[in-house]
Amino acid sequence: MGLLVLEWSLNQAVVRSVRADKDGIVWLVPDGIGGGRYSGAQCFQTLVSCRTCRSPHLLSVHIMLKLIALMEKPIVFLSHSTKNKAELAELKSVLDKRAAGSLEFFLSSDGQSIRFGRNWVVRISDALTHSKLMFVFLSSESADSKWIHFEAGCAYANNIQVVPVCLPGMDLNRVQPPLSLLQGFNFRSAESMGNLARICNETFQLKMNETFTEDEFNSLFAKSIPGTQPFLGQYSNCIDNVNMHSVITKPEGGDFDSLPLLKDIGAAAGLESLLYQVTDGLQQSRTILELPGCSVSVTKLNSPSSKKKESLAAGGVPQEGLQRRFEIRVVLTPDLFHLNAPLIDKWYVAADFRHEYSVSIKFASGIIVEETRHRLTTKLYKTGIHLVEPHKFEFDKLCFKCTTWTYHQGGYAWSTLDFGCTGNLSDGRLPKLIDRLFESEVLYRRIEAEGWREA
C-alpha cells in the first residue's frame, strides 16, 4: 500500500487518512476528533479498497460516517496535579501498552496529550467533552486542588464516570466531599493497580490484562512508598494525633525534673528540641519540651494528696511518706510517630516511671465506630479482633476500646482508640490493629455533607 492522501468534507469536519506504514497500519487523523491507529483490515479493506479507490467522491456518506466512528477512540481522562506528573506519565505509558491502542489516556502534563504550542484550556475542554471515564488521582499535595475538583465536577455534570484514586501518601478516608461521595480506591499495590484495567474493561467492554506484578507497581512508586507506610500503618493519614496521659506520685519535697533527660535522649537521636517553663491559670508550674512532631509537658499539681490533707487536718505538720502528684501529657503526630515513640519508650525506662499510662489515638473528624451490634459482630468476624466486653476489644492480647464522641451542636464527631501502656508505645501490634479496623469497616467515615447527588 503506497502513499494515499484523501480528504473529504462532512458537516464542515475534515477527515484525512495518512499513508499506511510497513505493517499495513493506516494512521487516520480526523480534524477536531482525535487521531487513531487502526489496521487496514478494520478500515479501508472493509469499507473501500485503497488500491482501487481513485476518487474521494466514490465514498458514500454512509461509509464516511462509519469511517469517522472507527477513528474515534474512547478517552480516559487522567485528572491529576502536576506535582505527580512524573509517576503518572510512567503509569500512562504502562496503560497505553496494556490498551494496545484501543483507548486514549489523556494526561495533560505529559507533553503528548497536549502538544506544545497548543491552547491547553481548549484541549482539556475538548478531552472532557469526549471522555467516557475519568480517574481522579489524589495525593496529599493535590487533594485540595481547586482545579482537580473543577475537572471532576465538569465530568460528573456530563455523566462521565468519575473514580477517585488515592496515590501512596493519601487515603480515601481523608478525601472531603464531594469527591468522597464517589466510589474510589487506594492505590497501594499491584492489585489496586489492576483496578484501573478492570474498570476500563467494564466501561468499554475490553479485555485488557488486569494482572500487574509488584515489581511493576514498585517501579512507578518506589520513591514514595517509604514515606507512605509510616509506623502506624497505611491508614496513618486518618489519625489526627496520639495522646498519652499519666499522673505519677513522688515524695513530697523531692524534685522531679525528667524532661532534661528526654531532651538528652532526643539530642542523641539527632533531634533539636526546646525546653521551657510556664505557669497556667491555676498557678501550677508546667515544664514543656517540644521535639519535632512531639510535645511533652510535666505539670506539678497544686492539690495535695488525700494523705497530706488528713495530715494537715490532724495538726498541719507534714509527715514522711506524703506524696506530690505530677501530671504528664504527651502529644505525637502520626507522621513522626516512628521517630518519637522509641524515644518516649526509652525515656519511660530511664526515668523509672513504673506507672501505666493511658494512650488515646484520635482519628480525623467524621471517622466513627460501627455501633450497631449485629453489624459490628459481622465486621469483626475472622479479623482476629474479639469482643471481651460490650465496649471492650482484644487483639493479640492487646485490650482496647473504640469510642465515638459527638458535639451535639453541629454533629461534629470523631473517634478514639484507647488502651493502657507500660513503656512500649512503639508496639508492633498497633499498625496491624488499625489496618484491620479500617479494612473491616469497624472504623469508617460518616458522610453527611452536601455534594453531587444522583438524579
Q: What is the pLDDT of residue 179?
A: 87
In this predicted model, what pLDDT tens digit does every residue of 42-89 receive, in sequence order?
A: 343 334 334 334 444 434 444 444 444 445 688 899 988 887 888 888
% of residues, the chain, pLDDT over 90? 27
Q: What is the pLDDT of residue 192?
A: 87
Overall fold of domain 75-228: Rossmann fold (3.40.50)
- Backbone φ and ψ for 51, nearest 5 degrees, come out as -75, -30
d(CA 324, CA 301): 8
Please give the Cα distance from 158 to 153 (Å, whole number). Answer: 9
User: Which pLDDT does position 121 carry in this prediction?
Assistant: 64
Q: What is the number of helices (H) and of strands (E) in the chain?
A: 13, 21
pLDDT value at residue 296: 95
d(CA 132, CA 67): 20
Residue 55's CB is within 10 A of a number of other CB atoms, namely 7
Cβ-defined contacts of 150-159 (< 8 Å, 24+) = 151/77, 151/79, 151/124, 152/79, 152/179, 153/178, 153/452, 154/128, 155/77, 155/79, 155/128, 155/131, 156/182, 156/452, 158/128, 158/129
Check residue 151 and give its pLDDT.
86
β-pairing verdict for 75-79 and 104-106 = parallel
Neighbours of 164 (CB within 10 A): 24
pLDDT, mean of residues 392-421: 84
The highest-confidence range among 175-179, 253-257, 271-275, by mean pLDDT, is: 271-275
Higher pLDDT, 411 or 27: 411
Q: What is the arithmetic mean of pLDDT over 327-332?
A: 94
Res. 25: pLDDT tops 50: no
Answer with the residue of higher pLDDT: 59 or 383. 383
Beta bridge partners of 326: 248, 300
Q: 135 and 77 in contact (C-beta within 8 Å)? A: yes
pLDDT over 60 at 384, yes or no: yes
- pLDDT confidence band for 304 (50 / 70 / 90): low
- pLDDT bracket for residue 332 (50, 70, 90): very high
In the chain, % of residues over pLDDT 70: 68
Angstrom CA distances, 289 to 254, 301, 355, stand at: 21, 18, 20
**How does residue 8 score in pLDDT terms, banded at 50, 70 and 90?**
very low
Bigger pLDDT: 285 or 316?
Answer: 285
DSSP secondary structure string for all residues of 287-314? EEEEETTEEEEEEE-SSPPHHHHHHHHH
- pLDDT digits over 168-220, tens only? 777 777 787 888 889 999 888 888 889 999 999 999 999 999 999 878 887 77
From edge to edge, which strands make up the β-sheet containing 13-20? 6-10, 13-20, 25-30, 36-39
Dihedrals phi, psi of 437, to nearest 5 degrees: -65, -40
Q: Where are the domains of the chain?
A: 6-71, 75-228, 237-445
- The residue type of 167 is L
Determine the residue type at 261. L
Mean pLDDT lowest for which of 236-240, 356-360, 385-389, 421-425? 421-425
- What pLDDT score was predicted for residue 191? 86
Whole-number pLDDT of residue 250: 76
Give the three-state DSSP class for 92.
helix
Mean of the per-residue pLDDT values of the chain: 75
Q: How far apart are CA 318 and CA 310, in angstroms?
A: 10
pTM of the model: 0.50
Predicted confidence band at 446 (pLDDT cuts at 50, 70, 90)? confident
Integer-rounded Cα radius of gyration of the chain:
31
Greater pLDDT, 210 or 141: 210
C-alpha cell belonging to residue 40 = 487496514
Query: What's the pLDDT score for residue 394?
Result: 94
The yes-or-no verdict on residue 12 having pLDDT over 50 is no
Joined grid coordinates for residue 327: 501530671
Assess whether pLDDT exceeds 80 at residue 313.
no
User: What is the reported pLDDT for 303?
Assistant: 59
Length of the chain: 455
pLDDT at 309 over 70: no
